[in-house]
Amino acid sequence: MPKRLTEQDLKALEIGAAVLGTGGGGNPYVGRLRSRELLRQGKHIDIIGLDELDDDALVVSVGGIGAPVIGVEKIEKGDECYRALKAIERTTGKTIDALIPAEIGGANSMEPMITGAQSGLPIVDADGMGRAFPEMQMCTYFIYGHEPSPAALADEKGNTVVLQHVNDMYWLERLARTVAVDMGAAAGYADAPMSGAFLKKYAIPDTVSAAIGIGEAVLQARSERRNPIDAIVARTHGKRAFEGKVVDVRRHIQGGFARGHAELEGTDHDRGKTARIDIQNENLILTIDGHAAAVVPDLIMLLDQDTGEPITTEVLRFGMRATAIVMPAHPLLRTPEALNVVGPEAFGYPDVTYVPLERGVAHA
């Protein structure tokens, strides 16, 4: 049976998706407010499991594309993903049965909820990343063979662009990113339809409900005056990796991405240590005292030490006291074919070897 989301569910999803966003995916706060207003207008948001999909159901992935920092200043019109979805239906001549997030991290957890409320379509409890990644090909759908076109992008000015034929997933990222940059470094997008049978094999399951569960754990911990970071660690089966103060942040927009790094000085039991987090929209590599302690695709998250609130890369600033926690990526992101697309070398780190968190420190 579908789960119909409430305003409280959206609040929990906002928190949990920001945690799973690994610093990126955009800040989900505004998306939560937009979703809440749609509920107050009498619309609804229904979540269905992968097992509730017919094998021949047609499902479209929707979300935002661009640099998360742009969302601080560039306000959406509100129907960008909906218009991209309709462009896909017009282009293919097919009626879409459901929506699915491309990524569960950050604001892209909310865009399918908004589009679902606007279109009346249910949202599948799954996604293609189990976190957030900066590039479109870094999605299990494309890694495991989903066609890259047609795809559609729409902006707040009323423009809609359809990429009718794209050679492969890398060209999709390149062309879509170019369009998004010209649209102001942020746009809504919709991918080509996928079958229910395909998603049952290659989507990362239960991530919407997982994000809501993380948020609920944080909210409960706050209400009971318990440490919310402990609640997140317990809920995600993650571990604390570093505690410190942010002493330097370098961040710039390049090619439609927010790139840079943050440096931290250790506090408490990490006093005397230093850490660095490399960023491309999301947190990619956590280095402690010169050694790579956690590496993409495993998840690296910065949390405010007092509130447990996830610190996204666009709001990261000097003086913040943060705790870095890490958790393992889903097995679909750890296969050789996936690591070719989402491993450290794909992000420009050829000298860093991915080692799963469970096996210890990565090699650099």
Contact (Cβ atoms closer than 8 angstroms) between residue 56 and residue 126: no
Q: Which residues touch 207 (CB under 8 Å, ≥6 apart)? A: 20, 101, 104, 125, 126, 127, 130
Residue 187 lies in a domain: yes
The answer to whether residues 130 and 201 belong to one domain is yes
The answer to whether residues 60 and 128 belong to one domain is yes
The answer to whether residues 175 and 241 belong to one domain is no
Residues 209, 194: Cα–Cα separation, whole Å: 21
SS3 content of the chain, % helix, strand, coil (to 5): 35, 25, 35
The answer to whether residues 253 and 311 belong to one domain is yes
The answer to whether residues 38 and 143 belong to one domain is yes
CA-closest candidate to residue 295, choices 260, 269, 326, 320: 326
Counted domains in the chain: 2
Can you give the CATH number for the domain in which 265 is found? Answer: 2.40.390
Residue 260 lies in a domain: yes
Domain boundary among 205, 221, 250: 205
Q: Which residues touch 8 (CB under 8 Å, ≥6 apart)? A: none
Q: Whole-prediction pTM value?
A: 0.92
The answer, yes or no, to whether residue 106 has pLDDT greater than 90, is no
Residue 213 lies in a domain: no
The answer, yes or no, to whether residue 258 has pLDDT greater than 80, is no
Cα 17–Cα 19–Cα 25 angle in degrees, nearest 5: 60
CA-closest candidate to residue 203, choices 52, 82, 2, 85: 52
The answer to whether residues 113 and 189 belong to one domain is yes
Q: How confident is the model at residue 360 (pLDDT cuts 50, 70, 90)?
A: low
The pair of three-digit structure tokens given for residue 284, joined into one six-digit string = 């990619």
Can you give the CATH number for the domain in which 40 is found? Answer: 3.40.1610.10
The answer to whether residues 183 and 247 belong to one domain is no
The answer, yes or no, to whether residue 363 has pLDDT greater than 80, is no
Residue 276 lies in a domain: yes
Name the average pLDDT for the chain. 92
Which H or E run includes 214?
helix 207-223
Residues 360, 120: Cα–Cα separation, whole Å: 46
The answer to whether residues 129 and 244 belong to one domain is no
What range does the domain containing 326 cover? 233-359
The answer to whether residues 195 and 237 belong to one domain is no
Residue 223 lies in a domain: no
Residue 154 lies in a domain: yes
Assign 325 to helix, strand or coil: strand
Segment 79-95, tens digit of pLDDT: 999 999 999 999 999 99
Residue 341 lies in a domain: yes
The answer to whether residues 199 and 248 belong to one domain is no
Task: Taking residues 22-43, report their average pLDDT.
Answer: 90
The answer to whether residues 253 and 318 belong to one domain is yes
The pair of three-digit structure tokens given for residue 139, joined into one six-digit string = 């999605």
At 70 the pLDDT is 66
Segment 61-75, tens digit of pLDDT: 999 988 666 666 677
The answer to whether residues 248 and 349 belong to one domain is yes
Residue 7 lies in a domain: yes
Residues 319, 121: Cα–Cα separation, whole Å: 43
Segment 199-254, tens digit of pLDDT: 999 999 999 999 999 999 999 999 999 999 999 999 998 899 999 999 999 977 66
Q: Which residues touch 73 (CB under 8 Å, ≥6 apart)? A: none
The answer, yes or no, to whether residue 260 has pLDDT greater than 60, is yes
Q: Which residues pair with 154 in a beta bridge?
A: 160, 188
